[in-house]
Amino acid sequence: MVSISNDGVQQPTNGNYQNGVIMASTNGLDNKTRFLILYASQTGNALDAAERVGREAEHRGCPAVVLSMDESDASSLPCERTVIFIVSTTGQGDTPDSMKVFWKFLLQRTLSQHWLKGVHYAVFGLGDSGYQKFNFAAKKLDKRLSDLGAEPLIEKGLGNDQHPSGYEGALDDWLSSLWKVLKKNPNILLREINDVDPDTETLDCPKYKVIYHDADSVQSEFVTASELESIELQIERARSMCPGKFGRNKHKPHCFLQMIKNQPLTRVGCGKDVHHFEFEAQSPDIRYQVGDVLEILPSQNPSAVEAFIQRCNLNPDLYITVQPNGTENGNPNLTSDALSDPVKLRTFVELTMDVASASPRRYFFEIMRLFATEDREKEKLQYFASPEGRDDLYQYNQRERRTVIEILEDFPSVQLPFEWLVQLVPPLKTRAFSISSSPLAHPNQVHLAVSVVSWSTPFKRKRWGLCSTWLAGLNPEGRIHIPVWFNRGSLPPPSPSLPLVLIGPGTGCAPFRAFIAERALQSTSEPTAPILFFFGCRNEENDFLYRDFWLSHAECGGVLSKEKGGGFFVAFSRDQPQKIYVQHKMEEEGRRVWSMLSSGAAVYIAGSSTKMPADVMSYIEKIVAKEGGVPLESSVRWLRALEKAGKYHVEAWS
């Protein structure tokens, strides 16, 4: 870290405490004296919160280690003295991917109730109270740690995206309580916890350093590579330089696709804009299965990238290498896969830094205030970074979805070094979409149904989704190379003999188009089980997605036809005065739904993550109770058993 002197000049510091800045080194620390922070993040919020806890610990004189759960060894937990867990909840109460192995270990029955005796812990969860299982992952973890004998330092904290300040509305108070407990009980950490002077301005050391290369000295492999090889090489190099931002094995694309069809599925002006996309693989060896998701790396608007480069006074033609700057909050394991492979600065920005669609974190403003040279701007940024300004910052930043470019333009005196921009600008993330095609029915192709995202902020600023807008604007004749990754989704592919009850309103129908296309092909060579499919949209004339496809399979002995034991039911929510949704259609067909369930059918639900999955589950519980002739409590237990048996699956997105 360095301190900022009164004249704004950065002064390096040495030792444990200088100029109001606490210095701490975690090298050589044993597990009993370090402050371990383990996080499980799906979108980056838990990582951001964990790094904040680590920074505050270091400022208070407590060496901290911040690790993702998939980088830690759960079996070593008894060797720790103090562990802080920062955990997000994803989907319908699921643990993040990085937590799954860790959590599975903790659930072992061989672990005794005294296994974690002597370990002090605290849990902070990040969730959304709009979901049925609010902060479920954090609640489960807190209970399991307690059951294993660990001692809680404070009550678990539950961050809520619905709070006027987002998850930080709970994090501020939770952290304050944590430091008070640790200061009052120095024997817990075997050291004193220092107070932090709020008037002392401190600047941490950036996590990354940027090495600049002379273009003439760079022996570029791009010259001899083909166009596709050159694009792949640039993506791999650029994205591998920021290992803390991207998931493992996400540097090199699985393959490249070219769009061959871009077809609107909704009527123009109806209030929804959904497109059907078809892509063809550039190589014949793509592999995926129904239920998988396709992750796409979107292209940023070149003018936005140029505006960012100009605003930050960067030279886009310089070749750079980005490397970890020593250790990350005491984690010596942070390494880069491409330390010696430079790329152009412009390429790095284009492929790794989301400069014009995502909003930065609170820490962005904390660092900006230290580089502001104009008094009014500095005062405003100091207010935003303070507890008093937290709600206003949330309104200014997250609620308005202000971009990095917009914020930098609002504070023209701030000139952030590129090292800090690399760390603070939100990463350019891949976007995941449910695949709507079957590899059996459409070999060497991938289909998607994508809703073009747009909305207005509280101050009536128009915003557009980066990836969906980019895809919708592509011309299939342009032969654009689109980098993609295939991944397992939340909907496992069903065997041909498994009866299915599918519920997919809106673009939630996408994976079920793939299911039905595949089963239709399977039915030509082997016996297949029936399918009930419940689809919902607003209007029959405006947004009846894939209408001809569903109707063709619901007639003439198709897999959705009554002759085959199946059925296709549509809820048009706004074609009559009283709104009708998929759950209402399910209730109308309750006897058929129960007949399928009682004969061993699996339930698959896909679509919006707000109320729909919970409402559908509630109606299925009512159907089971009514048609099965059992009390509602029994139907609830029956449905939970269906979940445990792997026959109730939900894929939801916000």
**pLDDT-derived band of residue 244, with 50, 70 and 90 as boundaries?**
low
> Read out DSSP for 538-586?
S-TTT--TTHHHHHHHHSTT-TTSGGGT-EEEEEETTSSSS---HHHHH
Please, which residues have CB within 8 angstroms of residue 129's CB and are 6 or more apart in sequence? 160, 161, 162
Q: Across residues 430-436, what is the average pLDDT?
A: 96
Q: Is 581 annotated as a binding residue?
A: yes
Please report which confidence band the pLDDT of residue 220 belongs to, taking 50, 70 and 90 as the band edges.
low
Give mean pLDDT, residues 579-605: 96
The CA dihedral of 296, 434, 489, 538, to the nearest 10 degrees, is 140
What pLDDT is attached to residue 310?
97
Q: Can you give the pLDDT at residue 82? A: 92
Is 173 within any annotated ligand binding site?
A: no
% pLDDT > 70, the chain: 89
| Spatial CB neighbours of 80, under 8 Å, sequence gap ≥ 6 | 31, 32, 34, 36, 119
- Distance, CA of 467 to CA of 578 (rounded, Å): 35
pLDDT in tens, 268-300: 999 899 999 999 998 777 899 999 999 999 999
Encoded tokens for 309:
């480069």
Q: Which residue has the tokens 């916890």?
A: 193
Predicted confidence (pLDDT) at residue 642 exceeds the cutoff of 70: yes
Judge whether 580 is annotated as a binding position: yes
On the question of pLDDT at 214 being above 50, the answer is yes
Q: What is the pLDDT of residue 155?
A: 96
User: What is the residue type of 560?
Assistant: L
- 115 belongs to an annotated ligand binding site: no
Calculate helix-pair angle for 590-598, 612-628, nearest 10 degrees: 80
Average pLDDT over residues 562-586: 95
Place of tokens 């002739």: 629
Contact 185, 193 (CB under 8 A): no
Flag whether 45 is marked binding. yes
Residue 513 CA to residue 432 CA, distance in Å, equals 17
Helices (H), ranges, 204-344: 227-240, 302-311
Instruction: Sort 231 into a burial class: Cβ within 10 Å, 0-12 / 13-18 / 19+.
Output: middle
Beta carbons of 491 and 604 less than 8 angstroms apart: yes
Q: What would the two tokens of residue 376 be?
A: 């009014």
Q: What is the pLDDT of residue 189?
A: 75
Q: Does the annotation flag 468 for ligand binding? A: yes
**Residue 434 known to bind ligand:** yes
pLDDT, one tens digit per residue, over 522-563 is 999 999 999 999 999 999 999 999 999 999 999 988 999 999
Task: Name the residue type at position 594.
Answer: W
* Sequence-separated (6 or more) residues with CB below 8 Å from residue 246: 239, 427
Beta bridge partners of 569: 534
Smallest CA-to-CA distance from 277 within 291, 296, 251 is with 296
Tell me which residue of 144, 151, 159, 147 sits closest to 102, measured CA to CA: 144
46 is in an annotated binding site: yes
Q: Contact 619/652 with Cβ under 8 angstroms? A: no
Q: Is 573 annotated as a binding residue?
A: yes
Is 58:64 a contact under the CB 8 Å cutoff? yes
Nearest to 543 by CA among 502, 584, 506: 506
Predicted confidence band of residue 93 (pLDDT cuts 50, 70, 90): confident
pLDDT for the residue 28: 43
Q: Is 207 annotated as a binding residue?
A: no
Query: DSSP 3-state assignment of 202?
Result: strand
Which residue in 119, 92, 95 sits closest to 107, CA to CA? 95
- pLDDT at position 249 is 52
Q: CA-CA distance, 603 to 596, in Å (whole number)?
A: 10
Q: Minimal CA–CA distance to 287: which of 449, 491, 492, 439?
A: 439
Confirm whether residue 381 is marked as ligand binding: no
* Window from 214-228, 563-577, 609-623 with minimum mean pLDDT: 214-228
Q: Which amino acid is at 563?
A: E
Mean pLDDT of all residues belonging to the chain: 88
* b/e code 269-303 from CB counts within 10 Å (16+ = b): eeebbbbbbbbebeeeebebbbbbbbbbbbbbeee
- Binding site annotation covers 615? yes
Under the banding of pLDDT at 50, 70 and 90, the label for residue 341 is: confident
Written as six digits, the tokens of 625 are: 């109770």
> Is 127 part of any known ligand binding site?
no
Enumerate domains of the chain plus CATH numbers: 2-203 (3.40.50.360), 208-248+300-424 (1.20.990.10), 500-653 (3.40.50.80)
The CA distance from 293 to 43, in Å, is 16
Pick 437 or 5 by higher pLDDT.
437
Provide the CA 425 distance to its chain's centre, in angstroms.
Answer: 16
pLDDT at 339 exceeding the cut of 70: no
89 annotated as belonging to a binding site for a ligand: yes
44 annotated binding-site participant = yes
Strand 208-213 and strand 319-324: the pairing is antiparallel
What is the spatial distance between Cα 291 and Cα 436, in angstroms, rounded to a whole number? 8
Asked if residue 55 belongs to a known ligand binding site, the reply is no
The response to whether 205 counts as a known ligand-binding position is no
Q: What confidence score (pLDDT) does residue 250 get?
A: 65
**Is the distance from CB of 93 to CB of 65 less than 8 angstroms?**
no
In angstroms, how far is CA 101 from the centroid of its own chain?
18
CB of 289 within 8 A of CB of 493?
A: yes
State yes or no: 582 annotated in a binding site: yes
Residue 314 and residue 307 in contact, taking contact as beta carbons nearer than 8 Å: no
Residue 97 has pLDDT above 80, yes or no: yes
* 321 in Cβ contact with 213 (< 8 Å): yes
Q: Is 161 annotated as a binding residue?
A: yes
Residue 338 scores a pLDDT above 80 = no
Q: Contact 544/468 with Cβ under 8 angstroms?
A: no
Short-list 8, 51, 4, CA closest to 362: 51
- What beta strand segments (E) does 426-466 contain? 431-434, 445-451, 454-456, 462-464
Secondary structure of 226-266 as H, E, C letters: CHHHHHHHHHHHHHHCCCCCCCCCCCCCCEEEEEEEEEECC
pLDDT score of 22 = 31
- Two tokens, residue 167: 């998850």
Confidence of residue 199 (pLDDT cuts 50, 70, 90): low
Q: What would the mean pLDDT of 156-170 be, rounded to a whole number?
A: 86
N-term to C-term CA, the chain: 38
**For the chain, how many residues are written?**
654
Does the annotation flag 433 for ligand binding? yes
Q: Is 50 exceeded by the pLDDT of residue 20?
A: no
Q: State which amino acid sits at residue 258.
A: Q
Q: Cβ–Cβ contacts within 10 Å for residue 416, how many?
A: 21
Cα 179 to Cα 33, 172, 239, 523, distances in angstroms: 16, 11, 36, 63
Instruction: Please report where in the chains the tokens 């009559």 appear, as a residue.
Output: 576
CA 147/CA 137 separation, integer angstroms: 15
pLDDT of residue 245: 55
CB neighbours (10 Å) of residue 440?
Answer: 15
Structure letter (DSSP) for residue 507 = G
pLDDT the model gives residue 466: 96
**Distance between CA 531 and CA 545 in Å, rounded?**
18
Amino acid, single-letter form, for residue 46: A
